[in-house]
A and B are shown apart, each in its own frame.
Chain A
Amino acid sequence: ELKVEQNPLFLSMQEGKNYTIYCNYSTTSDRLYWYRQDPGKSLESLFVLLSNGAVKQEGRLMASLDTKARLSTLHITAAVHDLSATYFCAVVKNTGTASKLTFGTGTRLQVTL
Protein backbone atom coordinates (compact mmCIF):
# COMPACT_ATOMS: atom_id res chain seq x y z
CA GLU A 1 0.00 0.00 0.00
CA LEU A 2 1.35 3.38 -0.99
CA LYS A 3 1.82 5.71 1.97
CA VAL A 4 2.58 9.39 1.72
CA GLU A 5 3.73 11.37 4.72
CA GLN A 6 4.40 15.04 5.13
CA ASN A 7 6.17 16.97 7.79
CA PRO A 8 5.66 19.15 9.52
CA LEU A 9 1.89 18.90 9.89
CA PHE A 10 1.69 22.48 11.03
CA LEU A 11 4.10 25.30 10.38
CA SER A 12 3.93 28.79 11.73
CA MET A 13 6.49 31.11 10.25
CA GLN A 14 7.19 34.79 10.13
CA GLU A 15 7.01 36.83 6.99
CA GLY A 16 10.35 37.00 5.27
CA LYS A 17 11.62 33.67 6.57
CA ASN A 18 12.49 30.54 4.60
CA TYR A 19 11.30 27.05 5.29
CA THR A 20 10.93 23.61 3.72
CA ILE A 21 8.06 21.12 3.75
CA TYR A 22 8.97 17.47 3.25
CA CYS A 23 7.01 14.74 1.52
CA ASN A 24 8.06 11.09 1.81
CA TYR A 25 6.40 8.24 -0.01
CA SER A 26 6.74 4.52 0.45
CA THR A 27 6.94 2.96 -3.00
CA THR A 28 8.21 3.77 -6.46
CA SER A 29 6.16 6.48 -8.06
CA ASP A 30 5.73 7.91 -11.53
CA ARG A 31 4.72 11.40 -10.65
CA LEU A 32 4.50 13.73 -7.68
CA TYR A 33 2.19 16.70 -7.31
CA TRP A 34 1.90 19.63 -4.98
CA TYR A 35 -1.49 21.20 -4.33
CA ARG A 36 -2.56 24.19 -2.30
CA GLN A 37 -5.85 24.34 -0.41
CA ASP A 38 -7.28 27.46 1.20
CA PRO A 39 -9.76 26.90 4.06
CA GLY A 40 -13.08 25.59 2.78
CA LYS A 41 -11.85 25.72 -0.80
CA SER A 42 -10.77 23.33 -3.50
CA LEU A 43 -7.32 22.09 -4.41
CA GLU A 44 -5.19 24.22 -6.68
CA SER A 45 -2.42 22.52 -8.62
CA LEU A 46 1.00 24.04 -7.96
CA PHE A 47 3.58 21.68 -9.43
CA VAL A 48 3.92 18.38 -11.26
CA LEU A 49 7.28 16.64 -10.90
CA LEU A 50 7.90 13.88 -13.39
CA SER A 51 11.45 12.69 -12.99
CA ASN A 52 14.34 12.33 -10.59
CA GLY A 53 16.06 15.63 -9.97
CA ALA A 54 13.14 17.68 -11.28
CA VAL A 55 12.96 21.17 -9.87
CA LYS A 56 10.18 23.65 -10.51
CA GLN A 57 9.76 27.18 -9.24
CA GLU A 58 6.84 29.56 -9.16
CA GLY A 59 7.26 32.80 -7.29
CA ARG A 60 8.35 32.10 -3.72
CA LEU A 61 7.75 28.35 -3.99
CA MET A 62 10.19 25.79 -5.31
CA ALA A 63 9.54 22.05 -5.49
CA SER A 64 12.05 19.28 -6.06
CA LEU A 65 11.94 15.53 -6.41
CA ASP A 66 14.43 12.83 -5.44
CA THR A 67 12.96 9.52 -6.58
CA LYS A 68 15.79 7.47 -5.13
CA ALA A 69 15.15 8.84 -1.67
CA ARG A 70 11.38 8.89 -2.37
CA LEU A 71 11.36 12.46 -1.18
CA SER A 72 9.98 15.72 -2.44
CA THR A 73 10.48 19.12 -0.89
CA LEU A 74 8.53 22.34 -1.16
CA HIS A 75 10.75 25.26 -0.27
CA ILE A 76 9.29 28.60 0.69
CA THR A 77 11.47 31.65 0.21
CA ALA A 78 10.78 34.92 2.05
CA ALA A 79 7.29 33.91 3.07
CA VAL A 80 4.40 36.35 2.75
CA HIS A 81 0.98 36.18 4.41
CA ASP A 82 -0.72 35.21 1.13
CA LEU A 83 1.07 31.87 1.24
CA SER A 84 -0.94 30.84 4.31
CA ALA A 85 -2.80 27.67 3.29
CA THR A 86 -2.61 23.90 3.56
CA TYR A 87 -0.18 22.26 1.17
CA PHE A 88 -0.62 18.67 0.06
CA CYS A 89 1.73 16.48 -1.86
CA ALA A 90 0.19 13.64 -3.84
CA VAL A 91 1.74 10.68 -5.56
CA VAL A 92 0.69 8.59 -8.53
CA LYS A 93 1.72 4.98 -8.71
CA ASN A 94 2.03 3.54 -12.16
CA THR A 95 -1.40 1.99 -12.51
CA GLY A 96 -2.20 3.39 -15.92
CA THR A 97 -3.37 6.68 -17.30
CA ALA A 98 -6.45 6.85 -15.04
CA SER A 99 -4.15 6.70 -12.07
CA LYS A 100 -5.44 7.88 -8.74
CA LEU A 101 -3.73 10.42 -6.52
CA THR A 102 -2.63 9.29 -3.06
CA PHE A 103 -2.41 12.37 -0.89
CA GLY A 104 -0.15 13.17 2.00
CA THR A 105 -1.39 14.31 5.36
CA GLY A 106 -1.07 17.97 4.47
CA THR A 107 0.98 20.78 5.99
CA ARG A 108 -0.93 23.74 7.33
CA LEU A 109 1.20 26.82 6.82
CA GLN A 110 0.50 29.97 8.75
CA VAL A 111 2.58 33.03 7.89
CA THR A 112 2.51 35.71 10.53
CA LEU A 113 3.55 39.33 10.39
Chain B
Amino acid sequence: EPEVTQTPSHQVTQMGQEVILRCVPISNHLYFYWYRQILGQKVEFLVSFYNNEISEKSEIFDDQFSVERPDGSNFTLKIRSTKLEDSAMYFCASKGTGGETQYFGPGTRLLVL
Protein backbone atom coordinates (compact mmCIF):
# COMPACT_ATOMS: atom_id res chain seq x y z
CA GLU B 1 0.00 0.00 0.00
CA PRO B 2 1.42 3.42 -0.94
CA GLU B 3 2.50 5.58 1.96
CA VAL B 4 4.02 8.95 2.74
CA THR B 5 7.61 8.74 3.90
CA GLN B 6 9.65 11.29 5.81
CA THR B 7 13.33 11.74 6.60
CA PRO B 8 14.98 12.04 8.98
CA SER B 9 12.90 10.44 11.71
CA HIS B 10 14.72 12.47 14.34
CA GLN B 11 16.79 15.65 14.09
CA VAL B 12 18.63 17.50 16.82
CA THR B 13 19.93 20.96 15.98
CA GLN B 14 21.31 24.04 17.63
CA MET B 15 19.24 27.19 17.86
CA GLY B 16 19.86 29.41 14.85
CA GLN B 17 20.76 26.56 12.53
CA GLU B 18 18.91 25.73 9.35
CA VAL B 19 17.09 22.44 9.00
CA ILE B 20 15.46 20.77 6.02
CA LEU B 21 12.80 18.16 6.57
CA ARG B 22 12.07 15.87 3.67
CA CYS B 23 8.92 14.12 2.57
CA VAL B 24 8.04 11.81 -0.28
CA PRO B 25 4.27 12.03 -0.81
CA ILE B 26 2.22 9.23 -2.31
CA SER B 27 3.18 9.14 -5.97
CA ASN B 28 -0.02 10.22 -7.72
CA HIS B 29 -1.02 12.80 -5.13
CA LEU B 30 -1.03 16.47 -6.01
CA TYR B 31 -1.86 18.21 -2.73
CA PHE B 32 0.81 18.43 -0.06
CA TYR B 33 0.76 19.66 3.50
CA TRP B 34 2.95 20.24 6.52
CA TYR B 35 1.59 20.09 10.05
CA ARG B 36 3.32 20.17 13.37
CA GLN B 37 2.54 18.83 16.81
CA ILE B 38 4.23 20.17 19.90
CA LEU B 39 4.59 17.45 22.49
CA GLY B 40 1.28 16.72 24.17
CA GLN B 41 -0.66 19.20 22.09
CA LYS B 42 -2.93 19.08 19.10
CA VAL B 43 -1.86 18.95 15.49
CA GLU B 44 -1.50 22.37 13.85
CA PHE B 45 -1.58 23.24 10.17
CA LEU B 46 1.46 24.98 8.72
CA VAL B 47 1.12 25.11 4.95
CA SER B 48 -0.58 23.55 1.94
CA PHE B 49 0.98 23.29 -1.51
CA TYR B 50 -0.54 22.61 -4.91
CA ASN B 51 0.58 23.15 -8.47
CA ASN B 52 4.02 24.27 -7.35
CA GLU B 53 2.83 27.03 -5.12
CA ILE B 54 1.59 27.63 -1.62
CA SER B 55 -2.19 27.43 -1.41
CA GLU B 56 -2.54 28.49 2.19
CA LYS B 57 -0.32 29.08 5.19
CA SER B 58 -0.92 29.62 8.87
CA GLU B 59 0.36 32.35 11.16
CA ILE B 60 3.01 29.92 12.36
CA PHE B 61 4.47 29.73 8.86
CA ASP B 62 6.44 32.95 8.99
CA ASP B 63 9.44 34.10 6.95
CA GLN B 64 11.67 31.54 8.63
CA PHE B 65 9.77 28.74 6.93
CA SER B 66 9.73 27.76 3.29
CA VAL B 67 8.57 24.80 1.24
CA GLU B 68 9.77 23.42 -2.02
CA ARG B 69 9.13 20.60 -4.41
CA PRO B 70 12.61 20.34 -5.90
CA ASP B 71 11.82 17.37 -8.13
CA GLY B 72 8.92 15.12 -9.02
CA SER B 73 8.93 13.21 -5.79
CA ASN B 74 10.26 15.21 -2.83
CA PHE B 75 8.51 17.89 -0.82
CA THR B 76 10.66 19.77 1.69
CA LEU B 77 10.13 22.09 4.64
CA LYS B 78 13.02 24.40 5.47
CA ILE B 79 13.38 26.31 8.70
CA ARG B 80 16.03 28.95 8.14
CA SER B 81 17.02 29.83 11.67
CA THR B 82 15.55 27.47 14.22
CA LYS B 83 14.20 28.62 17.57
CA LEU B 84 13.65 26.62 20.73
CA GLU B 85 9.90 26.77 20.17
CA ASP B 86 10.26 25.05 16.80
CA SER B 87 10.83 21.79 18.68
CA ALA B 88 7.96 19.57 17.65
CA MET B 89 6.94 16.61 15.53
CA TYR B 90 6.52 17.67 11.92
CA PHE B 91 4.14 15.69 9.77
CA CYS B 92 3.90 15.74 6.02
CA ALA B 93 0.60 14.75 4.41
CA SER B 94 -0.63 14.29 0.87
CA LYS B 95 -3.97 14.00 -0.87
CA GLY B 96 -4.99 12.85 -4.30
CA THR B 97 -7.14 14.73 -6.79
CA GLY B 98 -10.76 13.98 -6.01
CA GLY B 99 -9.69 12.23 -2.84
CA GLU B 100 -11.02 13.22 0.53
CA THR B 101 -8.41 11.92 2.89
CA GLN B 102 -5.04 13.39 3.76
CA TYR B 103 -2.52 10.64 4.39
CA PHE B 104 0.13 11.40 6.96
CA GLY B 105 3.75 10.40 7.04
CA PRO B 106 5.46 9.00 10.15
CA GLY B 107 6.79 12.42 11.16
CA THR B 108 10.15 13.99 11.94
CA ARG B 109 10.83 14.76 15.55
CA LEU B 110 12.80 18.01 15.67
CA LEU B 111 14.60 19.06 18.83
CA VAL B 112 16.17 22.51 18.95
CA LEU B 113 18.74 23.02 21.71
Q: B-contacting residues of A (Cβ < 8 Å)?
A: 31, 33, 35, 41-45, 48, 50, 88, 90, 95-106
Contact = CB atoms under 8 A, between A and B. Distances in A.
Chain B: interface secondary structure?
Answer: strand
A102 to B, nearest CB: 7
Contacts, number: 54
Chain A: interface secondary structure?
Answer: loop
A69 to B, nearest CB: 22
Contact of A41 (B31, B97, B106): B106
Interface stretch (B11-19, B37-45, B62-70, B74-82): B37-45
A42 B105 contact: yes
Task: For the complex of A and B, list the 5 residue pairs with the smallest distance between their C-beta atoms, beginning with the closest.
Answer: A98-B55, A100-B45, A103-B43, A43-B104, A98-B48
Interface in B81-112: 91, 97, 100-107
Contacts of B101: 33, 45, 48
